[in-house]
Structure 1
Amino acid sequence: MRRLLVLVTLLGIGILGCENDLAEVEALKARLDVKVERVEEVEILYSDSAQVKVRITGPVMLNNLDRTEPYQEFVEGVLVEFFGPEETITSTMVAKYAIRYDRRGEVIVRDSVVWESVENQKLETEELIWREKDEEVFTKKFAKITTAREIIYGHGFRADQNFSNAKIQQVEGIIAVDEGQ
């Protein structure tokens, strides 16, 4: 009986002696957040009818599993390669940050966004939004388009998702004009 009492007393002292620093507990909780997955050296392929259309790569992707608004976030930059019918690259886009909202079907790329086509067309802006359902890309920010013959500046840009039928708003710049017109 005396042995049991000593064991219970020691166990009680051990339990009462445990004290956790609240800051340490919160830091551990944040590191073990099961709502966010961290993926490194990411490569995502999008295909249609067994043909690769888009390849997305980046050093780090955070996959937020929140049920109300799941999203994927590229916090250290992203490279997007667009493919044509022969699975050759038709254009590329780079940015320092990107986020894709699953439910909205919306992708936003920010910070030093540069899209370039194999025809030497280039779009530079600070933000570009792709609405998957509408199959369009746009920005309300300052944009610069460079082609072999022109440099066009504007505030606002809109095109279909393969960057054809591009329109730039509030245009200014140097535009080539044929002398015969």
Structure 2
Amino acid sequence: MDIYKSHRIFLVCSVILMTLISCKNNFDEVKKIGVSENAPIGIAEGLNLKYTDSGRVTVNLRSPKMLDYSNRIFVFNEFPDGIDLDLFDEENQRSNVIADYAIVYDKTGIIDLQGNVVLSSTSKDTLFAEQLYFDQKREWLFTNRPVTFRTGRDVINGKGFDSDVKFTKAQVLEIDGIITLDE
């Protein structure tokens, strides 16, 4: 009987020990239950975001919807219904950016604007593009897609665009034609 009892104790202890060893910490996986990895972690609707610097509005972003994907390894925010963005310089002059769709990548600082992109500067220069990228760190605009750039009396059509945000170094690439308008 003692041998039978000791075998039973050994067997129970072995089962408990194996159960403890085979368990793993899956708390992070448990937290994700109910949240699809492809779904945004947050949704904002009727967005009207104003950024101020020293009490002065410098940016005003409006969008019908923003999807927050900060639950991903490569964090991004998506604006599936477009954006309307006003940028104000030191003299409170307004530049405007409009696009049908936008996506902002946090790690790279790149903003991808798509569909009927229109960028109007304070100097009344206007860029029309199918797609335009903005590098926030370098403050640089670029694309390799067709563009129309209206500057002064000239309307320049081409495939590609490269410029700083103030259009002081604006360059239309692969120019298809230039039209000079009468005043």
1:82 CA drift (Å): 1.2
2:61 paired residue number: 56
Alpha-carbon separation, structure 2, partners of 1:108 and 1:51: 27
More off after superposition, 108-117 vs 163-172:
163-172
1:168 CA drift (Å): 1.0
User: CA contact under 8 A between 2:159 and 2:176: conserved in structure 1?
Assistant: no
Name structure 2 gaps, 5 residues minimum.
1-33
Alpha-carbon separation, structure 2, partners of 1:34 and 1:73: 12
Match of 2:117 among 113, 119, 136: 113
User: Secondary structure at the residue paired with 1:154?
Assistant: strand
User: Do residues 170 (structure 1) and 174 (structure 2) align?
Assistant: yes
User: Do residues 156 (structure 1) and 160 (structure 2) align?
Assistant: yes
1:86 CA drift (Å): 2.8
1:66 CA drift (Å): 1.9
Match of 1:42 among 22, 25, 47: 47
Instruction: Give me the identity figure in percent.
Output: 31
1:81 paired residue number: 86
Alpha-carbon separation, structure 2, partners of 1:164 and 1:52: 24
User: CA contact under 8 A between 1:137 and 1:163: conserved in structure 2?
Assistant: no
Name structure 1 gaps, 5 residues minimum.
1-28, 177-181
**TM-score of the superposed pair, with normalisation by structure 1:** 0.72
Alpha-carbon separation, structure 1, partners of 2:54 and 2:161: 30
2:76 paired residue number: 71
Aligned residue pair count:
149
1:67 CA drift (Å): 4.3
User: Secondary structure at the residue paired with 2:107?
Assistant: coil
- Rg larger in structure: 2
**TM-score of the superposed pair, with normalisation by structure 2:** 0.71
Alpha-carbon separation, structure 2, partners of 1:103 and 1:157: 24
Equivalent position amino acid for 1:125 in 2: A
Equivalent position amino acid for 2:98 in 1: V
Deviations 1:97-154 (A, max 9, x none): 0010111111111011011234332111111101111210111101101234111011
Equivalent position amino acid for 1:92 in 2: N
Instruction: Pick closer, same or farther for the CA change 1:75–1:34 going to 2, 3 Å.
Output: closer
Alpha-carbon separation, structure 2, partners of 1:87 and 1:122: 18
